[in-house]
């Protein structure tokens, strides 16, 4: 079976930082943290979530609440309610957005009963979050990262993304081509090669790819290469090395594609990240 996630995740620095676990009471406002999302786990109690349209949504059973991108939001409880929460900041490795998260609902609300396969993981996560043992922060952060991978699997199985990379990975035929492309961004990918990986004709592959993902295969490849390059640049790799690693013969050719995608040269982008 094709591993649809490992090659993609290997290019990003998935990290979580749990900043609250315990009993919550009152109103909590979460500001925008550029490049980061938020993950909240409601263990028990009744929690109210302010949605973008101004409505409050009530969560009254154990629930996962995920904001994939930087989003200001508010949570509140009533005084008489006993609410237990675990809250974390999520960094998917790119300030400009991770392709895995495009087209996901925000917030993504998943009752924990819909994640029965993650029961043991959730039990262990809550045990670590609330027991106060040595190494608690490190353990809970790692478990949250594993939970996010399980959430992406659930997203593929359940069709949570309307389009984009996650929707493509949920498609049995496109997943084969995407896994190959993600695993080898420096390869000289052509439409015939990608169509062959998917087991489709060129015309059907091109049409189906655009319908599901919302981009042509060529545009997706260019965006993917730039995404990988951003990670390598953040890790301090020289521009020439990065260009070769993502399939360009020269730094100049890579810089032109990078600028078309992001409106900045690689060096300008790096200075912006540092600032």
Neighbours of 5 (CB within 10 A): 18
Which ranges constitute the DSSP H helices of the chain?
6-9, 119-131, 136-158, 165-169, 172-183, 191-198, 202-213, 217-234, 239-245, 251-262, 266-274
CA distance 35 to 91: 7
The pTM is what?
A: 0.85
Of 76-80, 178-182, 185-189, where does mean pLDDT reach its minimum?
A: 76-80
The pLDDT tens digits for 204-255 are 999 999 999 999 999 999 999 998 999 899 889 999 999 999 999 999 999 9
Is pLDDT above 60 for 96? no
What's the whole-number average pLDDT of the chain?
90
Neighbours of 78 (CB within 10 A): 12
| Across 98-107, average pLDDT | 80
Q: How far is CA 23 from each of CA 27, 67, 74, 81, 119, rounded to the nearest angstrom?
A: 12, 21, 16, 10, 21
The pLDDT tens digits for 22-60 are 888 888 888 887 778 899 999 999 999 998 888 899 999
CA distance 46 to 87: 15
The pLDDT tens digits for 2-18 are 688 888 888 877 889 99
H or E element that contains 27: strand 27-30
């Amino acid at each position: 079976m094709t591993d649809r996630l490992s090659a993609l995740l290997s290019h990003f620095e998935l990290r979580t930082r749990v900043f609250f676990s315990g009993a919550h009471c009152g109103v909590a406002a979460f500001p925008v943290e550029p490049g980061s999302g938020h993950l909240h786990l409601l263990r028990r109690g009744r929690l109210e979530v302010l949605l973008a349209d101004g409505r409050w949504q009530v969560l009254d059973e154990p629930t996962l609440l995920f904001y994939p991108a930087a989003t200001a939001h508010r949570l509140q409880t009533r005084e008489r309610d006993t609410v237990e929460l675990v809250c974390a900041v999520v960094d998917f490795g790119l300030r400009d957005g991770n392709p895995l998260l495009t087209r996901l609902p925000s917030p993504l609300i998943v009752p924990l009963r819909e994640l029965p396969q993650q029961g043991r993981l959730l039990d262990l996560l809550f045990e670590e979050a609330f027991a106060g043992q040595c190494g608690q922060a490190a353990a809970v952060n790692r478990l949250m990262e594993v939970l996010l991978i399980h959430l992406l699997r659930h997203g593929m199985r359940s069709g949570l993304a309307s389009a984009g990379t996650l929707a493509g990975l949920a498609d049995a035929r496109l997943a084969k081509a995407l896994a190959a492309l993600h695993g080898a961004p420096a390869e000289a990918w052509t439409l015939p090669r990608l169509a062959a990986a998917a087991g489709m004709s060129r015309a059907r592959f091109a049409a189906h790819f655009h319908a599901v993902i919302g981009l042509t295969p060529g545009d997706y490849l260019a965006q993917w290469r730039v995404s990988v390059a951003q990670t390598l640049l953040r890790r301090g790799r020289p521009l020439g090395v990065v260009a070769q690693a993502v399939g360009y013969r020269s730094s100049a050719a890579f810089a032109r594609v990078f600028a078309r995608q992001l409106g900045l040269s690689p060096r300008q982008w790096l200075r912006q990240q540092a600032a």
